[in-house]
Amino acid sequence: MSVIRRRLRTAAVAAIAACVALGSASCSKSDDEGTGEGGQVKLVLQTFQNFGYDQAIKDFEAANPNIKVEHQKMGELRDFQPKLVQWLAAGSGAGDVVGLEEGVLLGYVQNHDKFANLLDLGAGELKANFPEWKWNNALTPDGKKLIGLGTDVGGLAMCYRKDLFQQAGLPTDRDEVSKRITTWQDYIALGKEFKASGKVKAAWLDSATSLMQPYVMQNSETFFFDKDNKFIGDTNPVIKQTWDLGLQMAADGLTAKAQRWSADWDAAFKNSAFATLPCPAWMTEGVIAQRSGPANAGKWDIATIPGGGGNWGGSYLAIPAQTKHPKEAYLLAKYLTSKEGHLAAFKEAAAMPSDIAGLEDPAFKDKTSDYFSGAPIGQIFGESVKNMKPVFLGAKHQQVWETIFEPQMQAAERGQASSDAAWKKAVDEAKKATS
Amino acid sequence: MSSTAGAAPPRHRATPPSSTPAPRRSSYRLGRWDLKYSPYLYIAPFFALFGVFGLFPVLYTVYVSLFDYELLSGTKEFTGLENYRVLMEDAQFWNAAYNTLGIFVLSTVPQLIVALILANLLNRQMRGRTLLRMGIVVPNITSVAAVGIIFALIFADRYGLINWLLGTVGFDPIAWRDNRYASWFAVAFMVDWRWTGYNALIYLGAMQAIPKDLYESASLDGASAWRQFWTITVPLIRPTILFTVIISTIGGFQIFTEPLMYGFGLVRGGADHQFQTLAMYIYEKTFTGNAEYGYGSAMSWLLFMMIIIFALINFALVRRSVKGDRK
């Protein structure tokens, strides 16, 4: 609303528009000349959030004295993504190596002409380093072009509140809890037991929507899209099944009905409003520990996810076709997605390796978390990824889930709309958005 | 004067003496050019910058709006007025327009009235006058994002301050986001919190230019303070009121950050787009998903037209209802 702010924003938008229009290199931040003193090549690496690459880049520069890396941290994904789209379209401005979140990557696999083919740069030899699904996600359907190398993976486990379990008279030991929740039906039954104890005010799960990601991933090979990227959210039976299962839990009073990523959700952690939460690795320290705060340290623990393994999230490094130094850029991407790069990132930002050797390395495998009562996070999350079945997500998965189905399911959970009405709205809107 | 003759030639002489040749003539000419053209030169940087960063993008937006232009896939096809036709049938666009208008009315009307009253109160002799006058603009210099985060917490559904207060006196909590009008109210409240003081200060400035003797003679004639306010103050600051109405219309129609922060950073603006404004919808279409620049440009143009129309309507309405001092 402020006039000055708005002007600045208008000016910024105008500047971007002008850059796009002119395709002008002068607007770009990246160093297009690249070769500085003594034939040194300067590479620009653009990432979002925190990839944990500070040390890895130093090591890379030490091993490759002719390459200098400028690491531009671009803030949140939602801020970086629109800029990257513009830079790719304008033909300049994008880094030599860019970080792509899984959902974003799938969109670019469909429109891959703006990226270099890593197979041409020699990436074929790296295939055995990654789980097959992580590799294939970045591969075009014909298998001839690879646009990204895997950085982290999410993995999946069940985070739970030991203290609340104890109050309700449930087992608290993580192995015992894991045994009691091997299937989702067990998990719901234990939740009913938790509630029936009458000794706890907290709900069992944060939100009905938390069920969707792990449950569908375990029980279906596809999510909202079939392998031709056609929307099948309305006909994939597992999605409706999960929707009903989650909303039934809400109706049974097992969920805290907190909207994920809202201020209420944050407060619900602090107020101990729920006892369990399916959690990928990046959520443990970065989300749960941060929101629950030091007051709840040692009260959380981690068990295995019901229904076997699973994955939630993860990213890739890609090389935009506009780079002037594809060879050097490839060296950097290759190093950062090698075992050394993965383990450095794990140490710095708790980003779980997708590199198979990295997953086996003691630096990852033997890692425990103090906040989570000393839970062996390396082992638990490592197992979850090994056991998982690959799921085809489709280019617009993130959009359809986060901006259409999740809000509608939340509205139904809060009783603002009937389940049927919310489902119909979600399907209609998703069809419109994907047609 | 004659004693100084020759030391300094008289100025403004039509023909310089023949003894002073070219340099003097050219400096004279330079001086005339200076007077004539310098003002244009001084304001030129603004117009040059405006042309590059203001006018060109605006015109380029018109051009882009005629294309099916998607940045992600690289599509760029001329489709004429197709984007505008689709826009006319786009329920989400009109829903956003409805929300924007609703939030605008809900925020601007009370805001300007309260600002007027505040300014009138501050226009008196009182203790700590300067402090109070400065104080009312403090909300305006706080970061809009910070304001959005704090108010999103105050108006949180479950652990929010207001619902907690309502609970302590026995009322049901309000669904601040699911209920369309509750969400409008909350967003309007945020806007007012930031902008009432700013407008009050502008009114105050205008009020201080009103000659004090007008009030004195009115008092002698026995006019009440209320009567003086409506028949002296308001008519005399009418141009300022018109100015704030126009500025508020422009600002109100482009409201973006407040509802965005209120919806926890999601451009969707609630499960059913209850508080998604036009600027948010433009952002959603243009910068997320397929990055539909063509469609986004068409929407931006329609928003531009709407702002002009509503600014003119508001201008006419206010000019009519507030009688100026036509003599």
Domains of chain A plus CATH, in order, are 32-153+313-365 (3.40.190.10), 157-312+382-434 (3.40.190.10)
Report the 10 Å Cβ neighbour count for B172.
8
Report the 10 Å Cβ neighbour count for B4.
7
Q: Which residue of A has its CA nearest to B50?
A: A11
What separation, in Å, do the N-terminal and C-terminal C-alpha atoms of chain B show?
Answer: 51
Pairwise pLDDT comparison (A184 vs A399), residue with the higher score = A184
Give me the pLDDT at residue B64, please: 94
Chain B nearest-CA distance from A173, in A, is 31
Chain A nearest-CA distance from B53, in A, is 5
Give me the pLDDT at residue A79, please: 83
pLDDT in tens, A237-246: 999 999 999 9
- With 70 as the cut, is the pLDDT of residue A15 above it? no
Assigned token pair, A362: 């003691």
Residue type at B5? A
Q: What is the mean pLDDT of chain A?
A: 87
Q: What is the DSSP letter of A114?
A: G
Which value, in Å, is the radius of gyration of the alpha carbons in chain A? 23
The bridge status of strand A67-73 relative to strand A148-153 is unpaired
Q: Is A98 helix (H, G, I), strand (E, B) or coil?
A: strand
Q: Which helix (H) or strand (E) holds B4?
A: none
Residue that is written with structure tokens 């030490």 in the block? A62
- With 70 as the cut, is the pLDDT of residue A26 above it? no
Chain B nearest-CA distance from A350, in A, is 25
How far is B274 from B183, CA to CA, in rounded Å?
7
* Spatial CA neighbour of B65 closest among B82, B89, B52: B82
Give me the pLDDT at residue A394, please: 83
Of A1, A410, A416, the CB nearest to B191: A1
Give me the pLDDT at residue A115, please: 95
* Mutation target among B58, B72, B92 for the A interface, most CBs of A within 10 A: B72
Torsion of Cα atoms, B140 then B144 then B150 then B154, to 10°: 80
- 3-state helix, strand and coil shares in percent for chain A, rounded to the nearest 5: 50, 15, 35
Q: What are phi and psi of A159, to 5 degrees?
A: -85, 140
Average pLDDT over residues A108-124: 92
Dihedral sign for Cα B7, B11, B16, B22, please. Answer: positive
Give me the pLDDT at residue A204, please: 97
Of the options 1.10.3720.10, 3.30.420.10, 3.90.1150.10, 3.40.570.10, the CATH number for the domain spanning B83-321: 1.10.3720.10
Q: Is B175 helix (H, G, I), strand (E, B) or coil?
A: coil
Contacts of A5 in chain B (CB under 8 A): 144
Q: How many helices (H) and strands (E) does chain A have?
A: 21, 10
% chain A with pLDDT above 90: 65
Which long-range contacts (C-beta less than 8 Å, at least 24 apart) are formed by B83-87? B83/B294, B83/B295, B83/B297, B83/B298, B84/B298, B84/B302, B86/B295, B87/B295, B87/B298, B87/B299, B87/B302
A148-176 core/surface letters (b: 16 or more CB in 10 A; e: else): bbbbbbbbbbbbbbbbbbebbebbbebee
Give me the pLDDT at residue B218, please: 92
What separation, in Å, do the N-terminal and C-terminal C-alpha atoms of chain A show?
Answer: 35
* Spatial CA neighbour of A380 closest among A152, A214, A156: A156
How far is A72 from A324, CA to CA, in rounded Å?
17
Angle at B143 between CA B139 and CA B145, to 5 degrees: 120
Partnered with residue A274 across adjacent β-strands are A203
A-B CB pairs within 8 A amount to 109
- With 60 as the cut, is the pLDDT of residue A9 above it? no
Give me the pLDDT at residue A194, please: 96
Contact flag A411-B271 (C-beta cutoff 8 Å): yes
Contact flag A82-B288 (C-beta cutoff 8 Å): yes
Q: Digits of tens for pLDDT over chain B (327 positions)?
A: 444 444 444 445 444 445 555 556 777 888 888 888 888 999 999 999 999 999 999 999 999 999 999 887 888 899 999 999 999 999 999 999 999 999 999 999 999 999 999 999 998 888 888 888 888 889 988 888 888 889 998 999 888 999 999 999 999 999 898 899 999 999 999 999 999 999 999 999 999 999 999 999 999 999 898 899 988 999 999 999 999 999 999 999 999 999 999 998 888 998 889 999 999 999 999 988 788 999 999 999 999 999 999 999 998 988 887 765 444
What is the domain partition of chain B in residue ranges? 21-55, 83-321
ipTM value: 0.78
Contact flag B264-A396 (C-beta cutoff 8 Å): no
Report the 10 Å Cβ neighbour count for A243.
25
> Which residues have C-beta within 8 Å of that of residue A340, sequence separation ≥ 6?
A56, A59
How far is A107 from A93, CA to CA, in rounded Å?
20
Residue that is written with structure tokens 């850059």 in the block? A19
Of A5, A85, A403, the CB nearest to B268: A403
Of B57, B74, B264, the CB nearest to A89: B74
Give me the pLDDT at residue A238, please: 95
